[in-house]
């Protein structure tokens, strides 16, 4: 019973990005910081994972199979009462590719990081979002 409780203390983070190098980098960083990590490279798979797992936080790339798939997935999560309390950190290089700033307000993203991002800054943001998380 003690081992089971200890395992539950580890916060679970879902990383969704179609860039395998980015996924690997974030997963290694989160694992070494003591988080449990689930990864996928697909928005549809992300939504399927949500049905089975309950991540404490989601790191979601804006550009997946399409240029706006991450926005669509984020909207779907934030508009679902079952999942809307899960913090979402959007990440993207879209600002650099298009020259247009990303507007994250309409999906109620909790944070946005432009790639490349500073790993320590991302970890600090994750800590802050999980620390203020009132779900139990």
Report pLDDT digits (tens) over 76-113: 999 999 999 999 999 988 654 455 555 656 667 899 89
Q: What is the DSSP letter of 135?
A: -
Cβ atoms of residues 71 and 107 within 8 Å:
yes
The residue among 5, 17, 14 whose CA lies nearest residue 53 is 14
Residue with tokens 């290694």: 28
Q: Say which CATH topology domain 10-111 has.
A: Rossmann fold (3.40.50)
Neighbours of 46 (CB within 10 A): 26
- Percentage of the chain modeled with pLDDT above 70: 81
Angle value at C-alpha 109, between 107 and 115, nearest 5 degrees: 115
Cα separation, 102 vs 21, in Å, equals 22
Place of tokens 């706006």: 68
Helices 69-78 and 43-52 sit at what angle, rounded to 10 degrees? 30
Alpha carbons 63 and 6: distance in angstroms, whole number: 36
Cα angle, residue 103 at apex, residues 80 and 135 outer, rounded to 5°: 35
Q: How many residues comprise the chain?
A: 136
Q: For the whole model, what pTM was predicted? A: 0.85
Please give the Cα distance from 26 to 117 (Å, whole number): 11
pLDDT at 102: 58
Per-residue pLDDT at 37:
97
């Amino acid at each position: 019973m003690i081992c089971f409780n200890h395992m539950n203390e580890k916060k679970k983070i879902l990383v969704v990005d179609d860039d395998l190098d980015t996924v690997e980098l974030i997963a290694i960083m989160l694992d070494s910081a003591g988080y449990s990590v689930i990864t996928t490279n697909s928005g549809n798979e992300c939504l399927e994972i949500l049905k089975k797992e309950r991540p404490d936080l989601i790191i979601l790339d804006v550009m997946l199979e399409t240029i706006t798939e991450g926005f669509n997935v984020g909207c779907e999560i934030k508009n679902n009462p079952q999942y809307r309390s899960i913090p979402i950190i959007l990440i993207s290089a879209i600002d650099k590719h298009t020259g247009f700033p990303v507007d994250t307000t309409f999906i109620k993203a909790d944070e946005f990081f432009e790639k490349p991002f500073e790993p320590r800054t991302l970890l600090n943001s994750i800590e802050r979002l999980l620390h203020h998380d009132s779900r139990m």
